[in-house]
Structure 1
Amino acid sequence: MKNRYLVLTVMTLVGSPAFAEAPPNPADLRRVTKARESLVPAVEKAFGPRARFVQLFGQGREMLAGVVAEVPVEPLGTDDLPLLAIVRYAEDTGAVRVVAPEFKYREARIVGQDVALLDGAGTLRLRDANGQERLLAEQVGGDLFPTAKGDALVATLKTGVPGPHETAVGIIDLKGRVKVLADGPGVDATPSISPDGRTVVFVSGRTSVASFFVTTVEGGEARQLTNVGLENWMLFGGPPKEFVPPPVSSHHMEWLSDDVLRYNAGGGVFWTLNVRTGHAAADVGGAK
């Protein structure tokens, strides 16, 4: 899910020292280049010469990619995103196959042996290998992130409160049961769940600066991890050196351990975050 508050926070930082000092990790650049080599011709063959893949969903050997019918001529607003068809991409072999050919989805994630598909109306369904679907939940905003066991996923939820910036974080199991884990004032979004299934990290604007918070699958009291003590006016003219940028989405997050999360902070720059201590740093990798 894209939301204006978090996106504007990231846009404020583009070109700032926080990003200039952290070039993309060469390994990440190689992965993107390799994905494009397989996806570009496969997408053109399946959907026509105007189609483009615009988003990778997930990490690991098997990922999903979102495809637009054509790139819009005019720039779209932050919340006005094009609907996608979905293909599956195998990083090790480069194989690409169509999963959902209809241009009707916002997001998709692999969950166990199945694929979770979120349509433009906020309805989340689970599709099995035979193409059979069943309803999981409605009023889902996005930011899908499955558990390591593939038995549930965390997501941003629409709260029903008037206004575009009122969202919550919840967990949805494969029986369609939804549990709210965090619902502070304003935006709670972009959740990710640790490999052991115990810790949920998300981004909140409740302190006026988009920051990481942590809670549990039981929905315990949320604790702020990053940007403690900062206020939005402190970002004017460039962020202070202690500022930790938020992620651009949940689709480019991966856990290096039960305690350490790696995420895309924008511009292809990845950061690591220790969810116990709150320590964060740019992950620039080696020169090779």
Structure 2
Amino acid sequence: MNPSDLRRVEKARERIIPVVEKEFGPKARFVQIFGHGRNMMVGVIAEIPEQPLATDDVPLLAIAQYDEPTGTVRVVDREFKYREARSVGQNVALLDGQGNLRLREPNGRERLLAQKVGGDLFPTAKGDALVATLVGDGEGHETSVGLIDMKGRVKVLADGPGIDATPTISPDGKTVVFVSGRTSVASFFVTTVEGAQPKQLTNVGLENWSLFGGAPASFVPPPVSSHHMEWENEDVLRYNAGGGEFWKLNVRTGQAAPDLGGEK
């Protein structure tokens, strides 16, 4: 892992763990971080289950907020009923286990923003909308990528065959990058907030059979989630590819490489 990333993780653990144990009990554990920087969200479970969860099982979480620059932690909601949470401007978006996305305002007032939301919440830099994975009405596991504004209006941006998921939106609010399996290999695609025809950025020409026996040198791994993505600027996206490895992707050219980093 990039040394600077490792230090960020260790510092977050040092600050979050004592607060979680104090506020939720000694068996509680934080198991997920949503976002980064100021007002990062933290998912907490009541205790580690005795039996491992099945692949499709998602634990229901209580939510805390962690301010990375200052290290302060505060409880947002003590009920274990959420799948995800993200800061959206001054508000907090909370996704429950039934796919209902609610917006909690600073005064505590809460309203339903959207339904049939699968997750992967990623807010705009302005805090006026967020992108997310949407769940279809039909059978199976088909999903799409949508833009949800603060009035609850939902606009589908990408809906190809199979899974379109894990979206993120550039700092200028114009470019949406997501992961799709429409070519049989999980790859990055790019579109716009106007819903332009998606363009494949990575793994162009690869098919699933080409991964048998190990991925080729040209393979660009997909992100583990949208919660560990950071934009360095409007062109460069940094993301967690799993195993402690971060990659950088140029969303204009499709060029990607591991971010090995260095001592900072």
Q: Does 1:172 align with 2:148?
A: yes
TM-score normalized by structure 1? Answer: 0.90
1:265: which partner in 2?
Answer: 241
Q: Does 1:223 align with 2:199?
A: yes
Matches within 5 A, 1:1-288: 24-163=1-140, 165-287=141-263
SS in 1 for 2:62: strand
Q: CA deviation at 1:158?
A: 0.4
Structure 2: distance between partners of 1:79 and 1:263: 23
Per-residue displacement from partner, 1:172-207 (whole Å, max 9, x unpaired)? Answer: 000000000000000000000001111000000000
Q: CA deviation at 1:236?
A: 1.2
Structure 2: distance between partners of 1:105 and 1:138: 14
Structure 1: distance between partners of 2:69 and 2:182: 41
Per-residue displacement from partner, 1:59-90 (whole Å, max 9, x unpaired)? Answer: 11220100001111111122201100000011
Q: CA deviation at 1:91?
A: 1.3
Q: CA deviation at 1:287?
A: 4.0
Q: Structure 1 residue runs of 4+, over 3 Å off?
A: none
Per-residue displacement from partner, 1:215-249 (whole Å, max 9, x unpaired)? Answer: 00010100000000001111111100000000000
| RCO higher in structure (CA 8 A, sep ≥6) | 1
Residue type of the alignment partner of 1:273: L
The answer (yes or no) to whether the contact 2:177–2:191 under 8 Å persists in 1 is yes
Q: CA deviation at 1:251?
A: 0.3
The answer (yes or no) to whether the contact 2:143–2:162 under 8 Å persists in 1 is yes
SS in 2 for 1:38: helix
Q: CA deviation at 1:131?
A: 1.7
SS in 2 for 1:39: helix
Residue type of the alignment partner of 2:206: L
Q: CA deviation at 1:93?
A: 2.0
Q: CA deviation at 1:121?
A: 0.1
Q: CA deviation at 1:109?
A: 0.2
The answer (yes or no) to whether the contact 2:37–2:69 under 8 Å persists in 1 is no
The answer (yes or no) to whether the contact 2:36–2:68 under 8 Å persists in 1 is no
Structure 1: distance between partners of 2:163 and 2:205: 18
Structure 2: distance between partners of 1:231 and 1:239: 11
Structure 2: distance between partners of 1:92 and 1:214: 31
Per-residue displacement from partner, 1:128-156 (whole Å, max 9, x unpaired)? Answer: 12221011000000000000100000000
Structure 2: distance between partners of 1:275 and 1:79: 30
Gaps of 5+ in 1: 1-23
Structure 1: distance between partners of 2:104 and 2:88: 10
SS in 2 for 1:96: strand
% identity of equivalent residues:
76
Residue type of the alignment partner of 2:108: G
Structure 2: distance between partners of 1:202 and 1:56: 20
Q: CA deviation at 1:117?
A: 0.1
SS in 1 for 2:226: coil
TM-score normalized by structure 2? Answer: 0.99
Q: CA deviation at 1:58?
A: 0.5
Gaps of 5+ in 2: none
Residue type of the alignment partner of 2:171: P
What is the CA RMSD across the aligned residues, in angstroms? 0.8
SS in 2 for 1:27: helix
